[in-house]
Amino acid sequence: MNIRAVDINKSFGNQIVLSNWNCSIPEKETTCLMGQSGCGKTTFFRILLGLTYPDSGKILGLEKQMISAVFQENRLCKYLNALKNVHLVCRDREISREYLEEVFEKVGLDRNDLIKPVSELSGGMQRRVAIVRALIPESTFVLMDEPFRGLDAENKRRVVECILEFTEGKTLLVSTHDIRDVESLHAKLIMMGS
Amino acid sequence: MKLFITKQNYKIKKILSIIFWLVIWQITSQIIHQEILISSPIHVLNTLLSLILETSFWKTILYSFSRIVAGFLFANLFGILLSILSFRFKTIKILLDPIINLIKSTPVASFVILIILWFGSNNLSIVISFMMVLPIIYTNTLQGILNVDQQLVEMAKVFRIPFFSKFVFIYMHEVLPFYYSGCLIALGLCWKSGVAAELIGIPSGSIGERLYEAKIYLNSADLFAWTFVIILLSMVFEKIYLYFLFILKNRIEDRV
């Protein structure tokens, strides 16, 4: 079932962020959301994540979804290492250390990086930990708010490959400012604020 | 290696500074030369050694220690519980604020007299220790909870992180430094206020009573010896309690 936003309105004080916003996110496909800064992408993400409520309108098709996400900020437990950050969101699911090390290797993080507290990793490394954290847990709907921010070309390529591999058969929504991401992720495009 | 030497140097300097002040104390007592006003460290040490051999000394310590520590632990339990409730329910916070401020600003002596009037002096140090520690633990823990990173709380909500893991890795980790610093203040204060309360209420068999006797008989050696015992008890309990917290934190984090 597609996830549909129907006549969503959201404002903060006098500032209207979303006005009668409608869109459909196809099930088990990848969709890129593009638009100028401040057009309401993050607000829409927050509504989908259940972190804020629309003033009016509704979201359909979210009821049975298991959500995981990459936020605009990394939102990692800084004092924990990368492995523990992933384990933390996996609930009761047992995930072996070897498997996680393999996944992290795919995004360019070696074993030594994984045992340090994430606060000791660079911004780009922390971003990759946040991405892996969204890919590993059981989920049916993955949201990524500007996931490639702070990544160089090589690491971005690795991360895209990893995202494609791990989100196969899942609904993926990615917000981005780069039109090339639509192609590399084989995604459908939704423009906001135009 | 360099770090080791620096640490060792620091320890040596610390011991030397203690020896320096002991020497100053000894010289001062020799100059004044009046045991009633200031006993010499050697005399205090002799008094302490003779006290240690008495059974009543250990009974007195047990009496005060158990009460002051009980007050401290109860205050911790209630302080943490109330801070969680205050965070969760604004009405409770609004209701508690004036009481906490009242306890904070009321002199210990006023409480001591009230407690003696209401309950007698037997459990005085429990109540006073409790009342002095409660506002510190409550305020610090609440501040810690308010300081928890809301972005992490949202992340936990999105990923449906179980309550226990969320409590340990997000809340406990953020709140613990605040609670720790509260404990550091409260641990010293519970002993000071507890013994001061005993000194006013003079419950039978307490350290306060022994201090009172030292005052009555102008026995400064006893006064110094008992003061040393209080400092020692306070320091030992502080170290044990903080170490226990450290172990507990590590155990919980390893288990989750």
Residue A141's Cβ-side half-sphere holds a number of Cα atoms within 13 Å equal to 18
**Is there a domain that residue A194 lies in?**
no
Vertex B162: Cα angle to A132 and A136 (nearest 5): 15
pLDDT band at B7 (very low <50, low <70, confident <90, very high): confident
**What percent of chain B lies above the pLDDT cut of 70?**
96
Q: Where are the alpha helices (DSSP H) in A56-106?
A: 82-89, 97-106
The answer to whether the beta carbons of residues B222 and B213 sit under 8 Å apart is: yes
pLDDT above 60: residue B16:
yes
Q: Residues A49, A50, A56, A60: is their CA dihedral positive or negative? A: positive
The answer to whether the beta carbons of residues A33 and A92 sit under 8 Å apart is: no
DSSP state of A118: G
**Is there a domain that residue A105 lies in?**
yes
Question: Looking at beta carbons, which residues of chain A come within 8 Å of B157?
Answer: 50-51
A149-174 pLDDT per residue, tens: 989 999 999 999 999 999 999 999 99
pLDDT band at B230 (very low <50, low <70, confident <90, very high): very high
B190-199 pLDDT per residue, tens: 999 999 999 9
Q: What integer is the mean pLDDT of B140-163?
A: 95
Q: Write down the pLDDT at residue A147.
A: 95
B73-101 pLDDT per residue, tens: 999 999 999 999 999 999 999 999 999 99
Range of the domain at A74: 27-54+62-189
**What percent of chain A lies above the pLDDT cut of 90?**
85
pLDDT above 80: residue B256:
no
pLDDT band at A91 (very low <50, low <70, confident <90, very high): confident
- Long-range contacts, stretch B239-242, CB < 8 angstroms, 24+ apart: B241/B183, B241/B187, B242/B180, B242/B183, B242/B184
pLDDT band at A69 (very low <50, low <70, confident <90, very high): very high
Q: What integer is the mean pLDDT of A7-11?
A: 94
pLDDT above 70: residue B2:
no
Q: What integer is the mean pLDDT of A34-46?
A: 91
Residue A99's Cβ-side half-sphere holds a number of Cα atoms within 13 Å equal to 9
Q: How far apart are CA B93 and CA B91, in angstroms?
A: 5
**Is there a domain that residue A111 lies in?**
yes
Q: Residues B30, B32, B36, B39: is their CA dihedral positive or negative? A: negative
Mean pLDDT of chain A: 92
Question: Looking at beta carbons, which residues of chain B come within 8 Å of A67?
Answer: 158
Q: What integer is the mean pLDDT of B5-10?
A: 75
Q: Write down the pLDDT at residue B34.
A: 82
Query: ipTM score of the complex?
Result: 0.92
The answer to whether the beta carbons of residues A30 and A181 sit under 8 Å apart is: no
Whether A75 sits inside 8 A of B157 (CB atoms) is no
Mean pLDDT of chain B: 90
pLDDT band at B1 (very low <50, low <70, confident <90, very high): low
Token pair 């009046």 in the structure block, residue: B34
Q: Write down the pLDDT at residue A47.
A: 95
Nearest CA in chain A to B162: A91
Q: Give φ, ψ of A29 to 5 degrees.
A: -130, 170
**Is there a domain that residue A106 lies in?**
yes
pLDDT above 80: residue B170:
yes
Nearest CA in chain B to A47: B158
pLDDT band at B255 (very low <50, low <70, confident <90, very high): low
pLDDT above 70: residue A194:
no
- In B156-175, the residues whose Cβ lies within 8 Å of chain A are 157-162, 165, 169-170, 173
Q: Write down the pLDDT at residue A64.
A: 85
Q: Write down the pLDDT at residue B3.
A: 56
CATH number for the domain that contains residue A109: 3.40.50.300
Domain count, chain A: 1
According to DSSP, the β-strands at A15-25 and A3-12 are: antiparallel
Whether B159 sits inside 8 A of A75 (CB atoms) is no
Q: How far apart are CA A77 and CA B205, in angstroms?
A: 51
- Where on the phi/psi map is residue A80: left (φ > 0), alpha (ψ -120 to 50), or beta? beta
Q: Write down the pLDDT at residue A95.
A: 87
Whether B161 sits inside 8 A of A89 (CB atoms) is yes
Q: What integer is the mean pLDDT of B61-69?
A: 95
Q: Which is more confident, A191 or B35?
A: A191
Q: What integer is the mean pLDDT of A71-97?
A: 90
Question: Looking at beta carbons, which residues of chain B come within 8 Å of A50?
Answer: 157-158
Q: Write down the pLDDT at residue B125.
A: 92
Q: Write down the pLDDT at residue B5.
A: 61
The answer to whether the beta carbons of residues A127 and A155 sit under 8 Å apart is: no
The most confident of A64-68, A89-93, A112-116, B137-141, by mean pLDDT:
B137-141
**Is there a domain that residue A15 lies in?**
no
Neighbours of A140 (CB within 10 A): 14
Tell me how many residue pairs between chain A and chain B have CB atoms under 8 A apart: 37
Question: Looking at beta carbons, which residues of chain A come within 8 Å of B170?
Answer: 77
- Strands of A3-12's sheet, edge to edge? A15-25, A3-12, A56-60
Whether A50 sits inside 8 A of B155 (CB atoms) is no
pLDDT band at B39 (very low <50, low <70, confident <90, very high): confident
Closest CA to A145 of A28, A8, A37, A27: A37
**Is there a domain that residue A98 lies in?**
yes
